[in-house]
Amino acid sequence: MTNEGGRGLSSKLWAMQAKYAPYLFVAPFLLLFCAFMVYPLLRSISMSFYSYAGPHTSRFVGLGHYRYFLGDFLLWIAVANTIVYAIVYMGLQIPLSLGLALLLNNPRVRFRNLFRFAFFAPYLVGNVFVSVIFVLLLSQRHGLIPKALGFFNPAWLEVSWLGDPINARIAIVVASLWLSVGWGMVFFLAALQGVDRELYDAAAVDGAGPWSRFRHVTLPGIKPVMTFLVVSGTIGALQLFELPYVIFLQHGSAAGPKWAGLTIVMYLYQQGFDLGDIGAACAVGWFLVLLILGVALVQIRISRAGREEES
């Protein structure tokens, strides 16, 4: 009798654990997701209409922040810097990554894994440490890069990389490329190995040259990966912060010489933490959101249009 009752209870418990399991599985995520993503996301909209001074003092300013920073020339310098950086960086990273992947994908390459690791290694270093390494690499007269350039022309030994606005911008692009070309290459290589070999043979039988094989077989095959790399890379580039921040802090101002290192996220950081108005910083954040969404939409639209054209 008791035995039977026990079995009834345990089977009821068993049914309950089966029924509620999925809720229990998502519960920890859901709780934190709501507390630290959904709620702050909504809150940052309303915060952008207030001006803050310290944790407990705030004042409604409506669209005041937006009106203020849209008229601030520093914001537009930040926007110009960020967009030029994103274009130059992506314009170099994608061809370099793809070029390396094409070289490595050649069936005659030996020690492929070793090469792949060599090119990928800088990615493991991460933003902040790459910045530190580049501060050292570029240090005037004693850094490796001035020394290597001085080998060709002694005058280049004395070039100031981080004190000159143009050189500083070049330095940031070079540092980002060192960090991320291998990352893109890993994705391209995986995609290239997924392209059907028979398509190449068929194209060769049709008398297609190397360029036309690349254009009509390779490129369509790696298009999804290319779109992924371009869209995610651009989104990342528009959020540039750590590299210039760490590189230029040493020179007194995180914005670099003549604001060469001022980016949108750094402008946001300065509004929120240097000037102390987190409401203004939220407004800058939403400006960045709109910019990123706009750029991503245009890129995806272009990629779709290209696909329809082909089919």
- Residues 151-170, interacting with another protein (CB under 8 A): none
Between CA 256 and CA 309 the distance in angstroms is 44
- How big is the CA angle at 115 (ends 113 and 118), to the nearest 5 degrees? 110
Instruction: Verify binding: residue 63, another protein, rule CB under 8 A.
Output: no
**C-beta separation of 208 from 216 below 8 A:** yes
| Shortest Å, Cβ 123 to another protein | 9
| Shortest Å, Cβ 200 to another protein | 17
- How big is the CA angle at 197 (ends 194 and 202), to the nearest 5 degrees? 140
- Residue from 6, 7, 10, 43 that binds another protein (CB under 8 A)? 43
Between CA 273 and CA 289 the distance in angstroms is 20
Between CA 184 and CA 100 the distance in angstroms is 9
Q: Give which of 271, 267, 264 is closest to 53, Cα–Cα.
A: 271
Tell me the site size for another protein, rule CB under 8 A: 86
Q: Give which of 261, 30, 238 is closest to 168, Cα–Cα.
A: 261
Instruction: Verify binding: residue 118, another protein, rule CB under 8 A.
Output: yes
The stretch among 69-77, 202-210, 221-229, 299-307 that binds another protein (CB under 8 A) is 221-229
Instruction: Verify binding: residue 241, another protein, rule CB under 8 A.
Output: yes
Instruction: Verify binding: residue 294, another protein, rule CB under 8 A.
Output: no
- Residue from 6, 7, 15, 30 that binds another protein (CB under 8 A)? 30
Smaller CB separation from another protein, 1 or 24: 24
Smaller CB separation from another protein, 1 or 201: 201
The stretch among 2-10, 30-38, 59-67, 197-205 that binds another protein (CB under 8 A) is 30-38
- Residue from 53, 190, 300, 302 that binds another protein (CB under 8 A)? 190
Smaller CB separation from another protein, 238 or 260: 238
Q: What is the DSSP letter of 122?
A: G
**Count of helix runs (H) and strand runs (E) in the chain:** 14, 2
Between CA 258 and CA 248 the distance in angstroms is 11
- Token look-up 């990629």 returns 303
| Shortest Å, Cβ 289 to another protein | 6
* Contacts to another protein from residues 245-274, by CB under 8 A: 246, 249-250, 265, 268-269, 272-273
Between CA 193 and CA 105 the distance in angstroms is 7
| Shortest Å, Cβ 187 to another protein | 5
The stretch among 3-11, 61-69, 160-168, 241-249 that binds another protein (CB under 8 A) is 241-249
| Shortest Å, Cβ 208 to another protein | 19
Instruction: Verify binding: residue 281, another protein, rule CB under 8 A.
Output: yes
The stretch among 36-44, 70-78, 155-163, 196-204 that binds another protein (CB under 8 A) is 36-44
Between CA 46 and CA 58 the distance in angstroms is 12
Binding mask 130-149 for another protein (x = CB under 8 A): -xxx-xxx-x--x-x--x--
Joined tokens for residue 139? 């240090």
Cβ-Cβ contacts under 8 Å for 309 (sequence gap 6 or more): none
Instruction: Verify binding: residue 103, another protein, rule CB under 8 A.
Output: yes
Between CA 262 and CA 279 the distance in angstroms is 20
The stretch among 2-10, 37-45, 71-79, 212-220 that binds another protein (CB under 8 A) is 37-45
Between CA 117 and CA 114 the distance in angstroms is 5
